[in-house]
Amino acid sequence: MKIRKLGALGAELSALGALEKLSDDCVRAIRSAWLEHHVVFVREAFLSPAALMDFSRRFGEPMDYPFLDGLAAYPKVTEVRKRAHETVNFGGIWHSDTSYLAEPPMATILIARVVPPYGGDTLFADLQLAYEALSAGMKRTLNDLKAINSSARADATRTREDRIRERGRTDAAAEYLAEHPVVRTHPETGGRSLYVNPAHTVRFAGMTEEESAPLLGYLFAHCVRPEFTCRFSWSEGALALWDNRCTLHYPVNDYHGHERLMHRVTLKGEKPF
C-alpha cells in the first residue's frame, strides 16, 4: 500500500488492489493509516451498494441515519444528492456527522457516484491539531466543559427538510439533543481533540446561547484554520473514510447547475468521553 499525504491531515491510498477482496492484513493497514491521518481516500473504488456495505463492515457496524430512509435494498446506505436546479447543498456547513446523537458515529464512508464537471470538493479539518494549538490557559478552560448539540440548528436543516419530504423516516424525533465534552479523548489513540461544530453545537451546558456564543464562535473559527485542513477533489468512484471523532468536514457548494450524487455509510461509535 502506498500513502500520499494531502495536507495537515488526510492521505490518499493506492496499490490496494480490489477493495472487494482485501486481506485482513490490508484492512489493518488501512485502519492504521486512517487512525494516523484521520481521513483516507481511495481513487477508482467503484463499489456497488452491496460491496460498499461489505467494505464498511470490515471497519465497523453500519448504522441508520436518523432522519432519512436509505436505499430500498440497502437501508443503511444514505443518498447525498444535490440536483442541478438546487442552490443549497446537503450538509453545506462545517460539521461532525450527527453529533446530536448520544453515541455519534465513529466513522463515515462516502463514495462518489456522480460528480460535477468542476467544483464539489470536500474540506476536512483536524480537531486534534486544533486542540493542540490552543494555549495552556484555554485548554484548562475547556477541559471540563460540556456542550449541548442539537439537530435543529437552522443552517444545518435547510436541505435536510427537503429530503425529509421526499423520503423522511416516520420514526424520526422532532429534535435530537446530546451533551458531550468540549474536549474528547479518542478511544483508540488516546489523542485529545476539540468536539464542537457550527452545524450542531448550540451552547455550553449550564449557559445560555448568548453567553456561549463568543467562545463558541472563536472555537468554530479556530478549528478550521488553513493549517489544520486538507482539501479533496472528487472523481467518479472515489471513496473517503474519515474519523468522525476528531475531524470536521465541509462540502464546497460551487457547482450550481450540475448534479452531485454520493452514497454514505456511517459506522457506530461510542459515547464521547
**Residues labelled catalytic:** 95, 97, 249, 264
Instruction: Find out whether 126 and 246 touch, Cβ atoms under 8 Å.
Output: yes
Pure H helices in 127-236: 127-132, 136-143, 154-167, 209-223
Q: Scan for cell 468540549, then name that residue.
A: 182
Nearest CA among 229, 126, 245, 241 for reference residue 181: 245
Residue 221, number of CB atoms within 10 A of its CB: 11
Instruction: Find out whether 155 and 91 touch, Cβ atoms under 8 Å.
Output: no
**Amino acid (1-letter code) at residue 145:** L
Distance CA 180, CA 195 (A): 8
Distance CA 50, CA 41 (A): 19
Whole-angstrom CA distances from 99 to 61, 84, 254 are 17, 29, 26
Residue 29, number of CB atoms within 10 A of its CB: 16
Beta strands 11-14 and 39-42, pairing class: parallel
Nearest CA among 189, 213, 185 for reference residue 201: 213
Distance CA 112, CA 80 (A): 9
